[in-house]
Amino acid sequence: MARYLTFSGSRREGSFNTTVINIVSRELTRSNLQVTAISLDDYELPLYEQPTEKQLGLPEQAVELRNLFKQHDGIIIGCPEYNGILPPLLLNTLTWLSRSPEGQPDLSVFQGKPVLITSSSPGSLGGIRAAAHLKSFLSGVGCVVYPEMIIVANAFSAFNDNGDLTDENLGRKTVATIEQFHQLTSKISA
């Protein structure tokens, strides 16, 4: 049975992207699928720079995250939008994941890995520009990025007090996208 790793690229309290990731994690759990939901709060990493890597090696948190990527069949990432691209926290985390303990490039955690991208913002485009940048990044390092993304626009009114989507159509589309992503992941990991 496929296993999923979910995380948000925002550590902000009340984060819209974490809210979407929580919806996805709940839906996967409701479908009796195995989910490991993590917070990047628990994987704090220094700003990636080559001299820092030379000095510190691969931080333990990056080693743990790399292992989590390897141990799961599908990854779901919540991508906030900062100035039209992905935020520094997410880019920094993914950059560390692209390095080996020996300080060499190592894209093995990404290669052939199915990824579903979600994004939410208060704007009317819901972070789709950042999601597209993330899709390009992840495809470039070898992930199998699911073509449909879960985009939640107008975030201030998009969720009810339970953290569910207020728009029923979007709710149904979200469930369908998760199911289709699961089918793809199951085929790839079979």
Q: Which positions lie near ligand FMN, rule CB under 6 A?
A: 10, 12, 15-17, 80-84, 121-123, 127
How far apart CA 190 and CA 185 sit, in angstroms, is 8
Q: What's the min distance (Å) between Cβ of 172 and ligand FMN?
A: 23
Residue 90 vs 143, nearer CB to ligand FMN: 90
Q: How far apart are CA 89 and CA 81, in angstroms?
A: 11
- H helix intervals, the chain: 16-30, 50-56, 60-71, 88-97, 128-140, 168-189
How near is the Cβ of 181 to ligand FMN at its closest, in Å?
Answer: 20
User: By C-beta, is 14 or 51 nearer to ligand FMN?
Assistant: 14
Tell me the closest approach of the beta carbon of residue 161 to ligand FMN, in angstroms: 17
- Closer residue to ligand FMN in complex, CB, 69/82: 82
CB of 62 to ligand FMN, least distance (A): 22
Cα three-residue angle 19-143-105, rounded to 5 degrees: 110
Residues 6+ apart with CB under 8 A from 63: 101
Distance of alpha carbon 181 from alpha carbon 175, whole angstroms: 10
For ligand FMN, the closer of residues 84 and 103 by Cβ is 84
Give the Cα separation of 157 and 68 in Å (integer). 33
